[in-house]
Amino acid sequence: MTISKMISKTAMAIALTAGVGLAGVAHAQQGAAPMQQAKAALKITAAQEGAWNSFMNTYGQDFRPSATPSAKQFNAMNTTQRIAFLKQRMSEESAFMNRRYDANLALYNALDANQKKVFDDMTAQPEPQPRKAPAKKK
């Protein structure tokens, strides 16, 4: 596997599976080179540019919660208020991630069968390697 293919595969996989706390490598500015490599590997056509741009725009957005209390403000809340706050934050994070998942599906659905295979290969996660048993002490 070439270095550029590894970078593209890693970038796309991270972009697809990035946690809410991560900005993700698909940012238009920060991940431009790996994402342009992914675009080239997918051979995005002019007709698919809209889906690609929508995908990139979605991944270019950071999660921005509606409220970010300081530790002092959070600690001043009672348990009921903290739980309400945390539920709201979780709801916002879920909506954020769902927009990313939807952008993935929209791009994927715009691809032809060969491009879908490339996309699937690029975003596949490596299987974990079995751990070796620790050496027995004598």
Residue 135 maps to a domain: no
Task: Please give the Cα distance from 32 to 34 (Å, whole number).
Answer: 6
Asked if residue 137 is part of any domain, the answer here is no
Would you say residue 75 lies in a domain?
yes
Give this prediction's pTM.
Answer: 0.66
Return the higher-pLDDT residue of 72 and 34: 72
For position 126, what pLDDT does the model report? Answer: 83
Provide the token pair at 123.
């975003």
The percent of residues in the chain predicted with pLDDT above 90, rounded, is: 59
Residue 74 — pLDDT band, cuts 50, 70, 90? Answer: very high
- Domain limits for position 42: 3-123
Q: CB-based contacts of 130: which residues, under 8 Å, 6+ apart?
A: none
Domain count, the chain: 1
Is 87 inside any structural domain?
Answer: yes
Whether 130 maps to a domain, the answer reads no
> Does position 4 have pLDDT exceeding 70, yes or no?
no
Q: How many residues does the chain have?
A: 138
91-132 pLDDT, tens digit each: 999 999 999 999 999 999 999 999 999 999 988 888 888 888
33 falls within a domain: yes
